[in-house]
Amino acid sequence: MLFEFTEEQLMIKQAARDFAQTELKPGVIERDEHQQFPAEQIKKLGELGFLGMMVAPQYGGGGMDAISYVLAIEEISKIDASTAVILSVNNSLVCNGLEKFGNEFQKEKYLVPLAKGESIGAFCLSEPEAGSDATSQHTTAIDMGDHYLLNGTKNWITNGSTASTYLVMAQTNGAKRHDGINALIVEKGMAGFTIGPKENKMGVRGSDTHSIMFDDVKVPKENRIGDEGFGFKFAMKLLEGGRIGIAAQALGIASGAYELALQYSKQRKAFGKPLADLQGIQFKLADMATEIEAARLLCLRAAWLKDHHQPYAQASSMAKLFASDVAMRTTVEAVQIHGGYGFVKEYHVERMMRDAKVTQIYEGTSEIQRIVISREILK
């Protein structure tokens, strides 16, 4: 693994950083306060090619590698983790799923507008009784010959109201359990498709999270991804890559909070000297910087393995597990370094602390990551 970035990778990193500073930072506190979706900013990111970064140019994407993706997500997450998770779902789960496993008809109809940023996608796996246990799908897709009849509810759907294309896992043959699950492409506006109320979340409040309900939705057979019963394998494979995006998001939250804490420690004076001159603060900053660098290397290693078509399930779970824990520890310490100012919104770190928590939960909890890692090392 090379530890030097290419000129193109550095350009992408700088472009993402510039966009975050100029387009995302103004208004980020207000968007968090009012749970406002960053529609204008997402539109601009789509025009810049960030919604389909890793998709091949023939399908409207940027043809970039996973390392470039990690660099971009980190820079955006330093300022606005809500925007980062919108990008992460569209890139890692929806676009990647369609490009890797969809047929040419599905790619032309759905992937191209998603990669170009003309539309947004959502990934629908979790249910009221099927979160970490993804095999317990209660949403059903009954085979009706030329179509499936889809019924059920999906929970915690990122881009729930703003998406136009939804990748939905549903049980067609319960007797086969996970081998009876299908992956279906569902369009907003299909009869029987209903979007539930927006969840009032602790963090990443700028991203829209909803429940999605299906009541006798007719999904054409041509919208099934892969063979009959492929849905569970499809979802699990995509989550391996999705964890790289969430790890990069956690990394960005941590590094953004660290940069703010470092800057504040140099400006704020206590006992007649800057906070940064106090050994207790220096120890905190040293620990934060060390853990962030370790998390960054884990993220880049997982991305490198993916780029080189090597197994990366263990690496992505390690990156997601460690980076999300680092994000929590770092943001808590950033608030502590800021003291009372860390507890108010205008200094950003309290929002980062709230945003960090969800990185330990979605794409599989920290406990699930430990299960994945242990299974890989015990093979």
What confidence score (pLDDT) does residue 1 get? 64
Closest Cα partner for 359 from 260, 245, 259? 245
Closest Cα partner for 26 from 281, 378, 348, 357? 348
- Stated as kind and residue range, the H or E segment containing 98 is helix 96-101
CA angle 50, 53, 56 (to 5 degrees): 140
pLDDT of 279 over the 70 cut: yes
pLDDT of 379 over the 90 cut: no
What confidence score (pLDDT) does residue 242 get? 95
To which CATH superfamily is domain 7-120 assigned? Acyl-CoA dehydrogenase/oxidase, N-terminal domain (1.10.540.10)
Q: SS3 of 181, please?
A: strand
Higher pLDDT, 270 or 11: 11
The Cα 70–Cα 88 span in angstroms is 10
What pairing do the DSSP bridges indicate for beta strands 165-171 and 121-124?
parallel
Annotated catalytic residue 363 = yes
Where in the chain is CATH 1.10.540.10? 7-120
Residue in this structure with the two tokens 């919108």, named with its chain if needed? 86
The Cα 199–Cα 255 span in angstroms is 27
Where in the chain is CATH 2.40.110.10? 122-231
The Cα 233–Cα 174 span in angstroms is 16
CATH of domain 122-231: 2.40.110.10
pLDDT digits (tens, 9 = 90+) for 17-43: 999 999 999 999 999 999 999 999 999
Instruction: Name the DSSP letter for residue 127.
Output: B
Q: Which amino acid appears at position 235 of this protein?
A: A
247 within 8 A of 323, measured Cβ to Cβ: yes
Per-residue burial over 89-104, b if 16 or more Cβ lie within 10 Å, else e, is: bbbbbbbbbbbebbee
The Cα 38–Cα 348 span in angstroms is 17
pLDDT, averaged across the chain: 96
pLDDT confidence band for 317 (50 / 70 / 90): very high
Closest Cα partner for 121 from 135, 107, 133, 136? 107
pLDDT of 230 over the 80 cut: yes
Closest Cα partner for 34 from 82, 1, 67, 97? 82
What confidence score (pLDDT) does residue 175 get? 85
Mean pLDDT across the stretch 59-85? 97
pLDDT confidence band for 330 (50 / 70 / 90): very high
Of 135-139, 180-184, 241-245, 351-355, give the lowest mean pLDDT range.
135-139
What confidence score (pLDDT) does residue 109 get? 98
Instruction: Name the DSSP letter for residue 198.
Output: E
CB neighbour class for 163 (10 Å; exposed up to 12, middle 13-18, buried from 19) = buried
What are the φ/ψ torsions at residue 176 (nearest 5 degrees)?
-90, 0
Closest Cα partner for 111 from 56, 153, 161? 56
Q: Given 240, 333, 350, 363, which residue is catalytic?
A: 363
Length of the chain in residues, anyone?
Answer: 379
Mean pLDDT across the stretch 69-81? 98
Alpha carbon separation from 128 to 85, 134, 138, 204, 351 (Å, rounded): 21, 11, 9, 20, 27
The Cα 136–Cα 151 span in angstroms is 15
Instruction: Name the DSSP letter for residue 362.
Output: T
Tokens representing 154?
Answer: 């999906």
pLDDT of 131 over the 80 cut: no
CA angle 202, 203, 206 (to 5 degrees): 120
Question: In whole angstroms, how large is the CA radius of gyration of the chain?
Answer: 21
Mean pLDDT across the stretch 303-315? 96
What confidence score (pLDDT) does residue 110 get? 98
What confidence score (pLDDT) does residue 2 get? 65
The Cα 84–Cα 355 span in angstroms is 11
What confidence score (pLDDT) does residue 132 get? 65
- Look up the pTM and report it: 0.95
Dihedral angle of Cα 305, 311, 313, 314, to the nearest 10 degrees: -80
Closest Cα partner for 69 from 82, 47, 90, 54? 54
pLDDT digits (tens, 9 = 90+) for 44-53: 999 999 999 9
Question: Which CATH architecture group holds 236-378?
Answer: Up-down Bundle (1.20)
The Cα 182–Cα 230 span in angstroms is 6
Residue in this structure with the two tokens 């602390």, named with its chain if needed? 353
CA angle 364, 369, 373 (to 5 degrees): 150
Where in the chain is CATH 1.20.140.10? 236-378
What confidence score (pLDDT) does residue 128 get? 85
